[in-house]
Structure 1
Amino acid sequence: MTSMGKKVTFRREILPTDEGSRIGVVYLPKGNLAEMHYIINGEDQGAFTRKLPYKDAPLFAVVDVYGATKQVRIIQLYGGVASLKKMCRTTILRHIAMHGIKSLPLPRTLKEYLLYET
């Protein structure tokens, strides 16, 4: 398919229970409290709890994937200090949906980095 002479490709939308899908939980500090958000396949689903006292005790999260998942692998993404490059990628993806990355006025290689799946 072409659009104004450029080849257009579409990414397959994957469901949270599909193989290779990524479900994450992140908390965002706001003063002495925090908001906790779900991240599903790179897209922030919004805060599911607010006013969370994150400084008083360790935080633990449980994600129920509907009983349709056969295997789950837990990956610690932020175990240490992330590189500036990774932090910038995370911040951009927090504010822009994956399907909007290709329309950004950025070099092709940077768009590919933003869209990579590991």
Structure 2
Amino acid sequence: MKLIATVFTTVASVLLCQSLANAADDVKITRASLLTQPCFACHGANGTSVGLPILSLTGQTEDKYYETLIAFKTGKRPATLMNRIAKGYSDEDLKLIAGYLANPPAEAKPAN
């Protein structure tokens, strides 16, 4: 009986690991996607906020997102938190974030 349980557990573990490995192949992780993940902690899943005072991060152009992030970083746009967050990123990082927000992958786009 113990042998059957061991065999069953081993087979189940192998199948689970294989399915997890296959699922990971479907996810494209990029530097931009990694840099953007902290944004969703406040701005909601895939940038769709649940309401004020935090705005959604949807519907803007890459240039507009970048302009806004640089304004936070340089202090030209006042904020309670975003100015401190933006200062932690290089201008190149902010450009990648802006591009990701403006053109999210299909699986990350908010549902309409």
Greater fraction strand: 1
Q: More relative contact order in 1 or in 2 (CA 8 Å, sep 6+)?
A: 2
Greater fraction helix: 2
Q: Same fold (TM over 0.5)?
A: no
